[in-house]
A and B are shown apart, each in its own frame.
Chain A
Amino acid sequence: MHPALSVIFLTTLIGAGQGFFLALYTGQVYSLGNLLPAQSSLTFYAYGSLIALALLAGGLLASFFHLGHPERAWRAASQWRTSWLSREVIILPLFMGLVLVYGALHYFGLTRPVFRLGQAVVVDLSLLVGGLASAAAFLLYLSTAMIYASLRFLQEWYSPLTVANYTLLGLASGFTLAAAFCAWSGSELVLFYTSEALLLTLIAFLVRGLSLLRNRRIRHKSTLQTAIGVRHTRIEQKAQGAMGGSFNTREFFHGRSRAAMRTLKYLFLVLVFGLPLLLLGAGLAVDSLWLPAAAFLIQYAGLLLERFYFFADSRHPQNLYYQYIS
């Protein structure tokens, strides 16, 4: 497939946004159980939500660039019964709305307890909204990933690993960002988020690695033989009927060499996993403003490559029909 920048930005930005929000909310939940110290509503949760929203809005904005007719985007909400894309389209704004409410509650300090669970657990509105938002975040991971994972004949994508990857990579980048956010806002949760980020990055590495291994072994079900229905071991396309190219050659081919793709793979492995792990590890040892921030920036840049690779690495069966010009 030819990776579209808009989709790369959309999925990475909202993935990080979701992860970051989930990090915030984890903080709130943990603090509820006194596992972590409580944070300031304003500087931590409200500003944090703003950052999450900014990421999400960035993603949303990017997504509009993908559309031929953004002015009709609202129509995309209509097919939630069958279309994962439609579901994403519904959940993304819903999630953003919830994050907005969540941030607003914190911003305006509307954190009076609504009810208590036993002695310790004070449930306020933000906790409820945050809970809903967290559920939405996970649903959003699911629908984003399922857009790809539901396409049967894109065998590289058609796997639970795709959902796991989208979720884990989003979470990892979100938590890394949370570490950076804490470092900058002077919150004592740096260590917590750093170690969580380390852990998530590590798991994400394992799962992404697994999907790389899986994809290397894929035997494509469609072949030239099934594509044109001729049984012969040697078939070659000679003409695809359009010498100047067509939508089908532009949309489904990345045009990079195998070597470039291999380089890209190693590069993103280093950027998404290797370097951030090192930097985050160092962050555990040294108190630094920059280490977690650098980890996030590098990881995010890596994610852009990872997403590029994700799209480019999948071989669409339609390509069998569009191989040769002559």
Chain B
Amino acid sequence: MTMIFGVPLAVFMGQLTLGLVNGAFYALLSLGLAVIFGLLKIINFAHGAQYMLGAFAALLGFRYLGINYWLALILVPLVVGAFGMLLERYLLRKISHLDHLYGLLLTFGLALIIEGTLVNFFGVSGARYATPEVLQGGLDLGFMFLPTYRAWVLVAALAMCLFTWFMIERTRLGAYLRAGTENSQLMQAFGVNVPLLITLTYGFGVGLAAFAGVLAAPLYPVSPTMGSSLLIVVFAVVVIGGMGSIFGAIMTGLAMGVIEGLTKVYYPEAANTVIFLVMILVLMFRPAGLFGKEA
């Protein structure tokens, strides 16, 4: 049997694949954060809660309204995104002229309130969300058994990342957006409704989190606390990639998924810490992040 660093090739390949799947997930979540921070300069600590809301909305929508998975994948990001827009319009905007820390505290407080309320009603054990029928079963890749659903997560997450990157970097709307955050007064003078643009952007970032939540619902038990543990990792990914860098968030997300996956084979005890180790190294040698522009 071929061995790679003392691990059979098949196992190594398997871990690499799983790492990519998790990485796509990190990419999707950190992308939302990066969009919100890069364009709005809001440190969105409610991102984990918004991701959780996405999963919950899918679960409750199915349970009470019979909304199926595919419909949820479209509807839930819209609904949760709209909720995000309300938050931006009526809360975040009021403190937009203050230091970033205030936004961080406000979103963190909101996250605690949302989580606490749901814990009160649903407990923490979590509930199962059934995998849609067409995506059940698995693919035999020769070196491993890959559940079809995970393959789908990889495809869907990457497609969404590309779409977002394209929207912001290559379209006229994206150009307005970037210009609006660079110099909002000038843009307003040109007749662009910058506050509306900001509200929409925040809603879009929140929608991305909710989309990730729907994708996660069949993978993990849907519980009110599912977002809080993930949030810190995702923040580390954004810092490594460079705060606000969209391309950086996507690449770093994938890379961190793979690094974490390999750590789980070679030294599992460090699996939860390895990303933070990378973060420290990056902050020491490239404080602006791997893909960030030097400030």
Bind each other: no
User: Which A residues are within 8 Å of any B CB, using their own CB?
Assistant: none
User: Which B residues are within 8 Å of any A CB, using their own CB?
Assistant: none
